[in-house]
Amino acid sequence: METKKAHIIEKLGKNPSKKMIILGGMHGNEINGIEAIEEVLPRLKEIFDENNGEIWFLRGNEPALKAGERFVEKDLNRLWLDEHIYNKEDDSIADFKSLRVLHDLIINDICQGLFENCYFLDLHTFSAPSGIFAIPAANDKSLEFARSFGVPFIERLSDSLPGTALSYFGRKGMTSVVFEGGTHYSPEATRNLVAGIWHALAQAGFIDEKLQEVKQSRKLLIDISKDLPHHLELTYRHKLDDYQNFKMNPGFYNFKPVKKSDNLAVQNKEIILSPDSGFMLMPLYQKKGSDGFFIVKEK
C-alpha cells in the first residue's frame, strides 16, 4: 500500500509562512534528482535556520522509481488533471495511485490550500546527450523564478503539455518551475541539479545568498549556459500517441539549430520533417515517452 510517507525524503523547518517543495523522480528513471537531493541534504541541515520556512524534499513516481522505469503504465507527468485526480476507478494502475497520494500530500498536508507562498521545483533529466534548461509555469512569478537560474528557459511549453505537475501547481498560483539538469544517469546532471537546488533555495529566501554553495552553484549554471540561447519559447510539440513506432534520427541534442524541412525522425515508416526553423529540444532517445521532440525559438 503506497503511503504519503513513502514520498517524503525529508522535511526541514518549522515556520509554515513559506514552503519550498523539491521533487525528484517524477519520472522513475530520473534518479539524478534523488541523488542531488541526497547530496544537498547533509550540508543544508547544518546551515538551514528552522525559522526560515519549510523545505519538503519528495520522491515522485514511487513504483516507477522502484522499477527503474520512466513510468509503470501511464506517464505520471501527464496525469495532473482533475479528471484523473478525482476519478477513483483505476487505483489498480500504479501511476494513478502515485498521482493521488502525491496530490493529497502536496495540496492538503504541505500547502494546506495556501498556494501564494508555496514554491514547486520539479527536478528532471532527459535522454538527449546535452543541454540544461528551466521551464516556468504560465504565471509571472514562475517566469521570473525560471529566469533567475541563469540557464535557458522556455516559455509556452507548460501550456502545451496537458497534465504536467508544473502547470497544475502553476494554475493554483504556486511559483512552479521544472529544472532539467542534463542527461539521465550522468554525473553532470546530478551536479547541475545540486546547483539548481542551492540557487532556488537562496533565490526564494530560504537560505543566505552569501553561502559558498550558492555562489559556486550560480557560477556553474551561468558558465555551462554561456554558449546557449537564454530566453526561448515553444513553437512546436511533436506529440506521440504511440512511442513504439517513433524513432528519432541520431545526432540531435538540446538547442541544436534545425531548419524547416530538416529530416528529423521516422514514424510509422514515414519521414518526419521539421515544420519550422529553430532549436531542437528534448529529442526522444529512450524507449518510453509522450513526445518525440519540441522546436523552440529565441524570444
Cβ 45 to Zn ion shortest distance, Å:
27
Sign of CA dihedral 66, 111, 165, 223: negative
Minimum CB distance to Zn ion smaller for 12 or for 128: 128
CB nearer Zn ion, residue 7 or residue 27: 27
Q: How far is the CB of 203 from Zn ion (least distance, A)?
A: 22
Q: List Cβ neighbours of 69 (8 Å cut-off, separation of 6 or more).
A: 28, 29, 288
* 7 vs 218, beta carbon nearer Zn ion: 7
Question: Three-class SS of residue 212?
Answer: helix
Residue (135 or 232) nearer to Zn ion, CB: 135
Alpha carbon distance 263, 270 (integer Å): 11
Cβ closest to Zn ion, residue 59 vs residue 124: 124
Cα separation, 293 vs 252, in Å, equals: 10
Strands (E), the chain: 8-12, 19-24, 54-59, 118-126, 133-136, 153-155, 175-183, 231-239, 246-248, 257-258, 263-267, 270-273, 278-281, 291-298
Q: Cα–Cα distance between 277 and 236 in angstroms, integer?
A: 10
Q: Which residue, 155 or 291, is less far from Zn ion as judged by CB?
A: 291
| Beta-strand relationship, 118-126 and 19-24 | parallel
Residue 294 C-beta: closest distance to Zn ion, Å: 13
Least Cβ distance, residue 88 to Zn ion (angstroms): 26
Positions touching Zn ion (CB under 5 A) are 27, 30, 124
Least Å distance between CB 124 and Zn ion? 4
Could you tell me the smallest distance in angstroms from the CB atom of residue 24 to Zn ion? 10
